[in-house]
Structure 1
Amino acid sequence: MPPQFRLDEAVADVYGDLRLAPVLRRLLRHTGRLTGSSAGSVSLVDASQGIYMKAAEFGASCRLGQTFPLDEGATGRAFDRRRPVVIPDYGRLPGGHLAATDPARRGPAAAIPIWWRGDVIAVNVAFAGGFAARDVDDLEALSQSAAAAIIRSSRPSLAGRLRFAGARVTEAGVARPVSPQVARVAAGLVARPGLRVAIVYRREGLRLLVQDENSRPLEGVDPLGMGAESWEELSRLAGGELSVEHVRGWGMLVRADLPYEEAPFTPREAEVLELLRQGLTYREIASQMGLSTKTVEKHVGAIMRKTGASNRTAAVVTALGKGWLPA
């Protein structure tokens, strides 16, 4: 006879390790014990993009790792209603993602939203179980115990973020964290699912290669809502450079070189920094930019403060090391 389910022990077990993958696996295991369900899945919600991603599953193939619109399936139902939902016959639910032949598709399902500060950040779905009102209440408390791990991982690796956007990603080099702004720009370059993306982690900065056989350059006024009307402007938001070319056998290839962190400089400071790198004196910089020498000295002072450098040479070296200057 299996041991009696205890909610307090299950919550402590889920909450005891805040690494996301183990947390979701334990959440699904305890969900099965609590409800007697034969299968389940947890999806992470990206409400800003109107999508969710299947992040964990057990007992059935729920198309793990794929993304779906937020109005689909049991997850979409729970997100829309902002409360736990019991679906009497999952097989009749429009947009369900279990295969028609899967036994878990027959019978009821429960979808439990997981909250953080008023937002639904994930949904725990159990299939083919018993969903009495008390069980649903306990399942809601259990599911909520995973919220901390989900939020803690809400700044995923760049590769994870691009996969979440639907790209097929290959990485080369030692992965490094990137700033939120650089991650947003990179995700903007992969604005449509189905693209092939190579992420190359170089000493001097990040290189993205984006391949699409059928793509055209982005058109229209600020199509991504990020203050950029073209790929080039989008790349410049993160202080990077970009080229777009058609390569036979590849289709369109977008090559973007980005810093790991967005450059902290104003446009004027960035221009002064580039001229410092070229070895110009303050007077030569002033003449080229149409500024006074005193103004140039002010800009150099700001650059040294932002790089933590004690002299102009060290400021250039620091900026190169962080990818704030193209190599």
Structure 2
Amino acid sequence: MTGTTEAATTEAATTEAGTASAGPGRSAAERRLDTLTAMADDLAGHFELVPLLERILRHTVDLLGCDSGSVCTVDEAAGTYRKEVDLGVVCEAGRTFPLAEGVTGAVVRARAPVILDEYAQVPGGHIPEPERSALHGVIGVPIRWNGSILGTCVVFSRDPGRRFTPDDAALLELFATHAAIAITNARLHAQAAERASEAAAGAERERVVRDVHDTVGRGLAAVLLHLDAAGRGFASDDGAARRGAARSLAEARTAARAALAETRRTALGLGPSLLDGRSLAEALGLELAWVKSTAGLAARLVTVGEPRALAPDVARQLFRIVQEALTNVVEHAAATGVRVGLVYGDTSVSALVEDDGRGFDPQAVRRGLGLRGLAARAQHLGGTVVVDSTPGWGTRVRAEVPYAPGGARAGTGERWRVLVVHPSPVVRAGLVRMLESTEPDVQVVAELADPAQAVEAYGLLHPHVVLTALHMPHVDGVQLTSYLRAADPHAAVVLVVGSVADDRVREAATGGAVGFVGHDVDAAGLARAVVAAARGDQLVAADLFAAAAPSGSAVRQLTPRERQVRALLEQGLAYKQVATRLGISIKTVEKHVGAILRKTGAPNRAALHALPPR
């Protein structure tokens, strides 16, 4: 067995292999070009791994003048490899083997191409007789990506006189690069699909939890009110009161059955039964009748504007919003009256619920599931919910949604796509949870532990924002920002930083990072920074702005040359123009800019305009 590691030129490899298989009138270079063009077409937009690997393997054995081969994927951590594709041989595709066996095991141990004169030399080969005896020369190369071995590509010859050469290995490694792209793209696509599936499942779970909360809360409120009335009646010696208590028990049983039926409908994804065959106004009228009978409140429905037919989702969500608000009135408000308004505007419809109850402090209970559910329902449709309440002065809830659910963005199903990159799984999970629980318009399309994979993932997933950390091993936030901006000048990167005083923050800002948040940022602040970056704005958390505020003394520390550089930058000149004006090199200009940013505390050159006068 011979392990070959020397590199050979692709042109030489093409000449060697192409001569053996070029058709009449076709040169080796033309045949190679046709093959590579076909492979590029295969890779473009296709993510199913096995069909791609089959195409690549066919092109490979064709150019090497052979008819047999295999492609395997490798899991070095587990010490195994999997046969993915076979061509011309029975090599047990789909099975997994230890890395101590086969050509793949030899390639991984050598971490280089392996060439054998006879298949009989393969340790632990898996091709059975009599086909095994018909195979002679064998060549295998690693499929690499970012320094790791993802798999191997192996070609077999049935010609006893064929001897593979280092030139063949060089050509085979070229095809292995295409296989690496196929494997990486397939894995990233699978991760993206899994994330999309998880997001859809999460959204469905959130819908069910929210709807069940509303339905069960309403039902239990009715049951408890009837039971309370029954308890008071049975505690009385008055015969009429005791008969009324019996009626209250019967009503409690009816309310419990109705709540059970509504909960089942909710779990099945069906709308409220009151909306079946009714308009929203009619359904709200019945809901107010329930409020009157259950809590004894004075309830009134007011309709303003010309009623319009509403999309089913708009009617359902508005009904649920009003229903939840009324349940809160019945359970918590201690009100004597409630009014529901339905206002039809030109482009939107609004629902208002006003009561004269005890009121509350919205800030003190803003994290409750009920209020979050109201906001989430409206945001799902591209609308808003405003809760106005003061202790002792009642509560007013106003929900406004467009007639077309979600507006222009929801019409396309688009959400702000975010790629989260962080080496810590705990931190990644926390960032994802904060975003998804706070901002319904944000979709985390992938989570990566290795920042070295972020550029490839960015090219595949095209996220609106990359959320990552400033300090990471191997590739930090500054480097990752520069790599992403090199791949796409419009890439929006938001960094999680410990302190704005860190020199790396200024470097990242100079390199194009558009947002910074502290390690202690809350969910709302994180969502604001990400959404601002997605919209093309720049946002730094307020606490970082305060810490970054430069002092006049820092500005006065600039040298005369640094003041000249700063003055030219403020005129909008590029580094090259500054260098020409001052007769210095671009590198020197960059050093002066770094010193200016460091001394002034400005996060980037654009912020220099806000500094005190020079």
Spell out the pairing of 1:67-216 with structure 2 (5 A cutoff).
67-103=96-132, 106-128=135-157, 130-155=163-188, 178-180=193-195
Query: Aligned residue for 1:29?
Result: 58
Q: Give the length in aligned residue pairs.
A: 219
Q: CA deviation at 1:57?
A: 1.7
Letter in 1 for 2:373: V
Aligned: 1:61 with 2:87: no
CA deviation digits over 1:81-126, x for unaligned, max 9? 3221223443243332211321466433111112222222231111
1:278 aligned to which of 213, 216, 239: 216
Percent of paired sites with the same residue: 26
Query: Aligned residue for 1:234?
Result: none
- Relative to structure 1, the CA distance from residue 86 to residue 271 in structure 2 (aligned partners, 3 Å threshold; closer, same or farther) is same
- Relative to structure 1, the CA distance from residue 299 to residue 143 in structure 2 (aligned partners, 3 Å threshold; closer, same or farther) is same
In structure 2, the residue corresponding to 1:150 is in which secondary structure?
Answer: helix
Aligned: 1:14 with 2:39: yes
Q: Is the 8 A contact 1:272 1:285 kept in 2?
A: no
Gaps of 5+ in 1: 159-176, 183-237, 239-258, 315-327
Gaps of 5+ in 2: 1-19, 219-323, 333-363, 386-398, 402-614
Q: Is the 8 A contact 1:286 1:293 kept in 2?
A: no
Deviates more, 1:5-14 or 1:297-306: 297-306
CA deviation digits over 1:62-87, x for unaligned, max 9? 11222333443212222333221223
In structure 2, the residue corresponding to 1:44 is in which secondary structure?
Answer: strand
Q: Is the 8 A contact 1:39 1:58 kept in 2?
A: yes
- Relative to structure 1, the CA distance from residue 285 to residue 55 in structure 2 (aligned partners, 3 Å threshold; closer, same or farther) is farther
CA distance in 2, matches of 1:270, 1:262: 10
Letter in 1 for 2:187: S
Q: Provide the TM-score with structure 2 as the length reference.
A: 0.30
CA distance in 2, matches of 1:285, 1:64: 65
Higher Cα Rg: structure 1 or 2? Answer: 2
- Relative to structure 1, the CA distance from residue 87 to residue 180 in structure 2 (aligned partners, 3 Å threshold; closer, same or farther) is farther
1:40 aligned to which of 54, 69, 73: 69
Q: CA deviation at 1:303?
A: 4.0
Q: Is the 8 A contact 2:84 2:93 kept in 1?
A: yes
Letter in 2 for 1:295: R
Q: Is the 8 A contact 1:41 1:126 kept in 2?
A: yes
CA deviation digits over 1:177-201, x for unaligned, max 9? 952497xxxxxxxxxxxxxxxxxxx
Q: CA deviation at 1:15?
A: 1.9
Structure richer in helix, relative to its length: 2
Spell out the pairing of 1:216-231 with structure 2 (5 A cutoff).
none
Query: Aligned residue for 2:373?
Result: 300
- Relative to structure 1, the CA distance from residue 104 to residue 263 in structure 2 (aligned partners, 3 Å threshold; closer, same or farther) is farther
Structure richer in strand, relative to its length: 1
- Relative to structure 1, the CA distance from residue 181 to residue 67 in structure 2 (aligned partners, 3 Å threshold; closer, same or farther) is farther
CA deviation digits over 1:21-74, x for unaligned, max 9? 554334323332333334101123345654433222211111122233344321
Q: Is the 8 A contact 1:54 1:63 kept in 2?
A: yes
In structure 2, the residue corresponding to 1:17 is in which secondary structure?
Answer: helix
Q: Is the 8 A contact 2:143 2:150 kept in 1?
A: yes
Q: How well do the aligned residues superpose, as a CA RMSD in angstroms?
A: 4.4
- Relative to structure 1, the CA distance from residue 293 to residue 26 in structure 2 (aligned partners, 3 Å threshold; closer, same or farther) is closer
Q: Is the 8 A contact 1:99 1:105 kept in 2?
A: no
Q: Provide the TM-score with structure 1 as the length reference.
A: 0.52
Q: Is the 8 A contact 2:144 2:176 kept in 1?
A: no
- Relative to structure 1, the CA distance from residue 35 to residue 96 in structure 2 (aligned partners, 3 Å threshold; closer, same or farther) is same
- Relative to structure 1, the CA distance from residue 95 to residue 105 in structure 2 (aligned partners, 3 Å threshold; closer, same or farther) is farther
Q: Is the 8 A contact 2:111 2:142 kept in 1?
A: yes
CA distance in 2, matches of 1:285, 1:102: 81
Flag as ranges the 4+ runs of structure 1 deviating above 6 A.
284-287, 311-314
- Relative to structure 1, the CA distance from residue 35 to residue 21 in structure 2 (aligned partners, 3 Å threshold; closer, same or farther) is same
